[in-house]
Chain A
């Protein structure tokens, strides 16, 4: 870990108001990304991954209350004036979303949208120069026939091609950090691999800090340097990717690893963790995961576990790294 991370989130909390009371969807997330590093964030749907990262950029839904600290390149983003945040978004920090079908404006050509991304942060650049840049960007994400493609509307693109456009738009201004929120979830399996390849190649070439959000731990295996596992709005485990797969410290992580579909084996039934994550504002007492945990003990029902660390590998489980962990 270098001395100053590119992006550092500390105790980030996002709460939604419900008839007078607030319920936290993100309950104190802390994580960091170094320059050029790939951090994977994994967790089931509804665990607060999207809301947390959006809030970090000031893009939380209306009415959400955000507290904590988000530092980018040494600068605090929480409470930063909107104008200042806007200057960072799309230039030094970019974001792409899950569904490339709905993430592009249906009534603007792809060219207009890429050129807009370029010119928003280079207001003095001529339309002509911006169009040249847009053409280069399409080449960068391997979209052939850029001239024809730029004049087309999103509905004339396939899902994979649309996600390439989103990526091209995101890297239009050479960002330092790219947050990719489930970039392949909405795509066909074969296309997923291609998009991951494009992302990985760009990340290496542009030395991007990359946050790769997914609900499928398998996606991270070949692509992330480090992984943060999120459950019910909290990070429950953080480790280097190899370490995480080799020695998962949290029963939830073990469950996620077990549910990775194995492409080499034709098993028709996939493992999945029993039960569902707690609904917003309906947390159980003690460890948030205990009702679904096969290794839960008496203490888990009473006390929320704190993070235990061992050699850069941290897990929030009463039994993490204990010799008895083999019981799970």
Chain B
């Protein structure tokens, strides 16, 4: 198994290079002219200013030249400078990635917990009200658009009822703790401020639920289907004949047998969560990669767009690798060479 993981790790740099190339090429074939983002409309007619800007941002070079320079810089951790923020893209990303990861991980925990619980209950009580309710919940989650759900829940829970906080990662009056991990829930604890930690958790709740609902629906359907199948297998009868109670039969014997497909769907739902995070972050004013990407796209901020694409791609590659490793660990019948 270590050999399998090693092989996957060795393949990683090549895949990353592929992503870099693709991101670079796709961005350069778009219609938008990055100059409009750099030079103000008034100055556009001034050839000197335009030439200077082109030279400053490397736009006077040919595409292959720019590509080689970019990859070279990337190796030393330099992703260029954002047209908009005028800060190094790497620095922007470093600041914003943890916010997205925190949101996505929270959404994944919410989605997996609700999804697995509902799936197990729906399978055990199949064709009862519980099963039908779970089916409805999943249907809603996968058919209601994230932005609509986000706005609606924000309006009801925050504006109307005032029981959940509004957008943002912390109360507007609070001062953020020094950044250590970038996960607000963890950094507040590092700072030893428990009330701030609860505030961060509180702010995380609604966006995580909004983002996690669709995933919860998908997971619950998959878990239900697998559980129904597993519960009809003979070893379940063996467990009951041994004198095992229903809870043990369902959790230890049946659920454990659905672990592999469940882990797989949770792992691959990561891609959905990353894309879903873009909209969720915009609605909840979440300072993550998603809102950064939206701003970059709006402003034709090419260095930022390429940077976001590369980092998103790498995160995606790693979670897929983790999923595959988890798949092997959880399944004794698969031993990859």
A residues adjacent to B (C-beta < 8 A): 54, 57, 59, 86-91, 94-95, 97, 99, 102-108, 116-117, 120-121, 153, 155, 166, 169
What are the interface flags for B226-244 relative to A under an 8 Å C-beta threshold, 1 for contact and 0 otherwise? 0000000111011111111
Asked if A102 and B233 make an inter-chain contact with CB atoms under 8 angstroms apart, the answer reads: yes
A132 to chain B, nearest CB (A): 19
Q: A residues within 8 A CB of B234?
A: 97, 99, 102-103
Check: B333 CB closer than 8 A to any chain A CB.
yes
Q: Which of B98-106, B251-259, B278-286, B309-317 contacts A (4 or more CB under 8 A)?
A: B251-259
Give B192-240 interface residues, CB cut-off 8 Å to A. 233-235, 237-240
Please, which residues of chain B bring their CB within 8 A of the CB of A95? 241
Question: Considering residues A57, A87, A107, which has the most beta carbons from chain B within 10 angstroms of its beta carbon?
Answer: A107
Known: A153-B333, A166-B238. A120 touches B233 (CB 8 A): no
**Is B337 an interface residue, CB under 8 A from the partner?**
no
Chain A residues near B242 (CB-CB < 8 A): 89-90, 116-117, 120, 169
Most chain A beta carbons < 10 A, residue from B233, B238, B242: B242
Chain A residues positioned under 8 Å from B243 (CB to CB): 86-91, 120-121
Q: Indicate whether A107 sits within 8 Å of B241 (C-beta atoms), given known contacts A153-B332, A153-B333.
A: no
Complex CA–CA separation, A153 to B256 (angstroms): 14
Contacts of A99 in B (CB 8 A): 234
Cβ contacts under 8 Å, B331 to chain A:
107
How far apart are B260's CB and chain A's nearest CB, in angstroms? 8
Given A105-B257, A107-B256, A107-B259, is A86 in contact with B245 using a C-beta cutoff of 8 Å? yes
B235:A103 contact, CB within 8 angstroms: yes
Task: Indicate with 1 or 0, residue by residue over B299-337, a CB within 8 angstroms of chain A CB atoms.
Answer: 000000000000000000000000000000001110000
Complex contact B238–A97 (CB within 8 A): yes
Which chain B residue shows the least CB distance to A112? B252
Contact of B237 among A86, A88, A97, A153 (CB under 8 A): A97
Q: Are A155 and B235 in contact (CB under 8 A)?
A: no
Closest A residue by C-beta to B259: A107
Cα of A94 to Cα of B240 in the assembled complex, Å: 10
Please determine whether A106 and B235 come into contact, CB atoms closer than 8 angstroms: yes
The prevalent SS among residues of B at the interface is helix
Please name all residues of chain A whose beta carbon is closer than 8 Å to the beta carbon of B257 when the two chains form the complex.
105-107
When each residue 148-185 of chain B gets 1 if its CB lies under 8 Å from chain A and 0 otherwise, what string results?
00000000000000000000000000000000000000
- How far is it, in angstroms, between the C-alpha of A102 and the C-alpha of B257 when the chains are bound? 13
Question: What is the chain B residue whose CB lies nearest that of A152?
Answer: B332
Q: Is the CB of A59 within 8 A of B245?
A: no
B247 CB to closest chain A CB, in angstroms? 12
CA A94 to CA B242, docked complex, whole Å: 7
Report Cα–Cα, A89/B240, bound state, in Å.
Answer: 8
Cα-based distance from A301 to B216 in the complex (angstroms): 60
Distance (whole angstroms) from the CB of B65 to the closest CB of chain A: 55
Task: List the B residue with the shortest CB-CB distance to A88.
Answer: B243
CB pair B241 A102 closer than 8 Å:
no
C-alpha gap A75/B312 in the complex (Å): 66
Known interface pairs A97-B237, A103-B238, A116-B242; 12 further A-B residue pairs with C-beta atoms within 8 A, sorted by A's residue number: A57-B241, A86-B245, A90-B241, A90-B243, A105-B238, A105-B253, A106-B332, A116-B244, A120-B244, A153-B333, A155-B333, A169-B238
* Most chain B beta-carbon neighbours within 10 Å: one of A54, A90, A166: A90
The answer to whether B235 and A102 have CB atoms under 8 Å apart is: yes
Residues of chain B contacted by A57 (CB below 8 angstroms) = 241
In angstroms, Cα B245 to Cα A89, docked, is 11
Contacts of B237 in A (CB 8 A): 54, 59, 97, 103
Report the minimum CB–CB distance from B20 to chain A (whole Å). 40
User: Top 7 nearest A-B pairs by Cβ distance?
Assistant: A90-B243, A90-B242, A102-B234, A89-B243, A95-B241, A105-B235, A153-B332
How far, in Å, is A3 (CB) from chain B's closest CB?
A: 29
Nearest Cβ distance between residue B121 and chain A, in whole angstroms?
A: 16
Q: How far is the CA of A190 from the CA of B159 in the complex (A)?
A: 76
Known: A89-B240, A153-B332. A104 touches B235 (CB 8 A): yes
Residues on A with beta carbons closer than 8 Å to the beta carbon of B241: 57, 59, 89-90, 94-95
Which residues of B sit under 8 angstroms from A102, Cβ to Cβ? Answer: 233-235
* Bound form: Cα–Cα A142–B52 in Å: 87
Alpha-carbon distance between A106 and B254 when the two chains are bound, in angstroms: 10
Q: A234 to B234, alpha carbons, bound, how many Å?
A: 25
Instruction: Give A57 to B240 CA distance when docked, in angstroms.
Output: 10
Closest to A172 in B: B242
User: A104 and B333 in contact (CB under 8 A), knowing A116-B244, A121-B243?
Assistant: no
Instruction: Give, as a whole number of angstroms, the nearest-CB distance from A174 to chain B.
Output: 14
| B167 CB to nearest A CB, Å | 44
Query: Which residues of the other chain, B, contact A89 by a CB distance below 8 angstroms?
Result: 240-243
Identify 28 residue pairs between A and B in the complex whose beta-carbon atoms are under 8 Å apart, listed by A's number: A54-B237, A59-B241, A86-B243, A86-B245, A87-B243, A88-B243, A89-B240, A89-B242, A89-B243, A90-B242, A91-B243, A94-B241, A95-B241, A97-B234, A97-B237, A99-B234, A102-B234, A102-B235, A103-B234, A103-B237, A104-B238, A105-B239, A105-B257, A107-B256, A107-B257, A108-B256, A116-B242, A120-B242
**A54 contacts across to B, CB distance below 8 A:** 237
Query: Closest chain A residue to B331 by CB distance?
Result: A107
In the bound complex, what is the Cα–Cα distance between A151 and B3 (angstroms)?
23
Minimum Cβ distance to chain B for residue A83 (Å): 8
Chain B residue numbers with a CB within 8 Å of A155 are: 332-333
The residue among A103, A105, A120, A121 with the most chain B CB atoms within 10 A of its own CB is A105
A101 to chain B: closest residue by CB? B234
Residue of B nearest to A92 (CB): B243
